[in-house]
Amino acid sequence: MTQPGQTTTTSHEAIDAFKRIVGDEHVLTSERATMPFSKGYRFGGGPVFAVVRPGTLVEMWRALQVSVDNNLIVIPQASNTGLTGGSGPGFQDYDRPIVIISTHRIDEVHLINDAREAISLAGTPLTHLTDALAKHQREPHSVIGSTSIGASVIGGIANNSGGSQIRKGPAFTREAIFARVNDDGKVELVNHLGISLGDDPEVALDRLQRGEWSPEDVTPAPEDSNETEYAEHLRKIVPSPARYNANPEYLFEASGSAGKLMVFAVRTRTFPREVHPTVFYIGTNNTHELEEIRRLFLEADMPLPISGEYMGRSAFDLAEKYGKDTFVFLKFMSPALQTRMFSFKTWANGLFSKIPGIGPTFADTVSQAMFSVLPNQLPKRMMEYRNRFEHHLLLTVSESQKAASEKMLKEFFAEPEHTGEFFICTSDEEKSASLNRFGAASAATRYAALKRRHIAGLIPIDVALRRDDWNWLEVLPEEIDDQLEVKAYYGHFFCHVMHQDYVAKQGVDPEALHDRIQHLLEERGAKLPAEHNYGRIYKLPESMEEHFKELDPTNTFNAGIGGTSPHKDWA
């Protein structure tokens, strides 16, 4: 059986063909060169035959043809910022060599219909789309924490990313152009982009990249608004989760495809930009108070808030200590610089990982040491709330909702049974609170990496709780709690999507403990995963496996995802 990194005569021919298509410098084969692509941000990682980095959509198409002709497993990859290892290989019993087709170089954005919609190409980062729309006073379909490290538009859509936007819901579209491998093993191009580009695949893809079409070739935009149908869906306080990966309402071709298609571009709605939003910083020691506030706003006769982000004290402390470098870069520099620093860190860790006595966290260790000497970067009022309150909520509303929202919160906390408080953030506090909240995920990863010799491992849980669950913050059985060194809770509170990061003590089996915690959550009616996709840590349900078999009947793309068969034709 051919293993992922092994070569054959046919494989050598494939390498030559890839080089003719994209150029020698964009075909990577050594372990050191491929590691930044093959190793996941948190999980996954294994040998690959090659990484191919096309610079155009036509090169993508041709590289895919070579891969299929040479019986290779293809993993499409944009930024490799996912948290479950789904954009790279795992350590599975693969029966074919693996090629990663990295789309990172293909990052154009085309705005259509007066910027009310956007066409994002294969590797377009959310930062590019956000910048392009800002000039038109518009904003993208999604805002997620990993935007700052280069997360891509298509990666978010393929992985059901939800993000923090209450009114918009999960990253979803029915309009995309992609390649699939049909039952006969032939590559075919499917254009559901709503733009007429012709029948020849290479001509169509070249026109798409250049933006060469006329207005009459484009279907009209939907009615403009500040929200999607998800907002009304979310208002229903019912015994089911609001959004999760296996929800059939949010599975359509590229959306939720998890790398089982080769997606060249997606078409997404854009939204009027929020000007002068207000952020309320809420603190309490009673989880029921936060749930009461959530329901108060969901049931109010006014538009939903923009976002409502929860953070527990443990997550706050992790982010403050182990995410300080990310905080400083984003607050005082730019997302673009942070993306470059993230890429450099990945490269440096890979470079030094083979040197005895240094290991795979060299860049993290140096950065942590350098930034630990800086004083606390968080505003005074935030730190006061950290000391007084266990639970924190960042509630963001439109400028027009500020007065009504403030009145609701004042009346709520004036009631004698409520013990929490709130303040309205200044612009500096707003930015700091947001960065601290979204730094929690990377901080947990940093902590686990630096402590790797003294712990069993990181156990991340991405869960969609029931919308009617009052007991949203879990209380683990003592026998499980005793196996954990750290617990950090944070998430998209109004959607009841929680990210729960655990660090297991030495001697604990992290995979077994993950499964036990997942079982406890599912007994409560929760669904996992919620927005990070299955990757290499979740076993997908039978319904999702059937869905993926329809998308990819020969199991050419991202074989083995979610614990499925890594073999050809799903054998």
Check if the beta carbon of residue 64 is closer than 8 Å to that of residue 552.
no
CA 60/CA 53 separation, integer angstroms: 8
CATH code for the domain in which residue 377 is found? 3.30.70.610
Residue 86 has pLDDT above 90, yes or no: no
Query: Are 32 and 150 found together in one domain?
Result: no
List the domain range (segments joined by +) for residue 66: 2-103+546-568
Residues tagged in the binding site annotation for FAD: 78-82, 86-87, 145, 152, 162, 258, 263
Query: Are 12 and 133 found together in one domain?
Result: no
CA 312/CA 295 separation, integer angstroms: 19
DSSP single-letter state for residue 147: G
**Higher pLDDT residue, 258 or 336?**
258
Band the pLDDT of 186: cuts 50, 70, 90.
Answer: very high
Whether residue 61 lies inside any domain: the answer is yes
Find the angle CA(22)-CA(27)-CA(29) to the nearest 5 degrees. Answer: 165
CA 545/CA 477 separation, integer angstroms: 32
CA 340/CA 169 separation, integer angstroms: 29
CA 258/CA 75 separation, integer angstroms: 10
Q: For 286, what's the count of Cα atoms within 13 Å in the CB-facing half-sphere?
A: 11
Query: Are 266 and 137 found together in one domain?
Result: yes
CA 45/CA 90 separation, integer angstroms: 5
Whether residue 192 lies inside any domain: the answer is yes
What would the pLDDT profile of 382-418 be if each residue is shown by its tens digit? 999 999 999 999 999 999 999 999 999 999 999 999 9
Residue with tokens 């978010």: 156
pLDDT on residue 335: 64
Domain boundary among 233, 251, 270: 270
Which of 12-16, 180-184, 371-375, 384-388 has the weakest average pLDDT?
371-375
pTM score: 0.91
Query: Are 97 and 111 found together in one domain?
Result: no
Q: Report in angstroms the alpha-carbon separations of 284 from 289, 330, 419, 420.
A: 7, 28, 7, 4
Query: Are 162 and 302 found together in one domain?
Result: no
Query: Are 120 and 219 found together in one domain?
Result: yes
pLDDT on residue 7: 47
Query: Are 145 and 210 found together in one domain?
Result: yes
Query: Are 260 and 380 found together in one domain?
Result: no
Domain boundary among 451, 469, 488: 451
Query: Are 48 and 131 found together in one domain?
Result: no
CA 168/CA 450 separation, integer angstroms: 36
Q: Report in angstroms the alpha-carbon separations of 191 from 71, 188, 205.
A: 25, 10, 10
CA 208/CA 120 separation, integer angstroms: 10
DSSP single-letter state for residue 466: B
Band the pLDDT of 375: cuts 50, 70, 90.
Answer: confident
Cα 493 to the center of its chain, rounded Å: 17
What would the pLDDT profile of 284-322 be if each residue is shown by its tens digit? 999 999 999 999 999 999 999 999 999 999 999 999 999
529: preceding bond cis by omega (within 30 degrees):
yes
Residues facing residue 119 across a β-bridge: 110, 267
pLDDT on residue 39: 83
Find the angle CA(281)-CA(287)-CA(293) to the nearest 5 degrees. Answer: 55
What would the pLDDT profile of 411-458 be if each residue is shown by its tens digit? 999 999 999 999 999 999 999 999 898 888 888 888 988 898 899 999
Whether residue 499 lies inside any domain: the answer is no
pLDDT on residue 261: 98
Query: Are 398 and 422 found together in one domain?
Result: yes
Which residues lie closer than 8 Å to 409 by C-beta, 6 or more apart?
A: 280, 282, 293, 422
Check if the beta carbon of residue 480 is closer than 8 Å to that of residue 513.
yes
Whether residue 62 lies inside any domain: the answer is yes
Residue with tokens 């051919």: 2
CA 377/CA 321 separation, integer angstroms: 10
Q: Which two tokens stand for residue 80?
A: 């490799």
Q: Which two tokens stand for residue 322?
A: 């182990």
pLDDT on residue 338: 63
Whether residue 539 lies inside any domain: the answer is no
CATH code for the domain in which residue 24 is found? 3.30.43.10
Residue 47 has pLDDT above 60, yes or no: yes
